[in-house]
Structure 1
Amino acid sequence: MKAFFVQIKCDLGKAYEVAGALADAEIASEIYSTAGNYDLLAKFYVEDEEDIGHFVNEKVQILPGIKDTFTVVTFRAF
């Protein structure tokens, strides 16, 4: 399994709805509210052979209320 993070910018006033939709979809292992340029930070895991780009496009960015995303790919946990 490989882990990665997605910072999510939501439409104004939609952060809680987007966080709820992520939780309901059961695709994120952790979801946090953040301050700054993005509203949410979510941690995801995919199988080693699964493509992160397709996962984000097909399962995350389709959720209503998401305006923009920034994906951070990780290499190693310490």
Structure 2
Amino acid sequence: MTICVFIQIRCKPGTTYKVAEQIALLEIHSELYSTSGDYDLLMKLYIPKNEDVGKYINDHLLVIPDIERSLTTMTFKVF
């Protein structure tokens, strides 16, 4: 069973579209949105079975240059 997480991403100023394009090329996300507020992007991601959530995000997403900060929200039950 996969784990659904939402990741808010803050980019260095002026790099949001560049970061979004790099995320899209990785093809690891389910959905990706630009947002207003403290973070620039909101990503819905399904972590593959038997993967460590933190390590997966660190190894697959946070290697992208110009990401300043991220905030991960793990999900539990679907209603």
TM norm structure 2: 0.94
Q: Distance in 1 between matches of 2:42 and 2:26?
A: 16
Deviations 1:19-61 (A, max 9, x none): 1100001011100001000000001112232111001111111
Per-residue deviation, 1:76: 1.4
* Unaligned segments of structure 2, at least 5 residues: none
Q: Size of the alignment, in residue pairs?
A: 78
Equivalence for 1:19: 20
Equivalence for 1:48: 49
* Unaligned segments of structure 1, at least 5 residues: none
Q: Distance in 1 between matches of 2:5 and 2:49?
A: 12
Report whether the alignment pairs 1:61 with 2:62.
Answer: yes
Moved over 4 A (4+): none
Equivalence for 2:40: 39
Letter in 2 for 1:37: D
RMSD: 0.8
Q: Distance in 2 between matches of 1:67 and 1:20?
A: 16
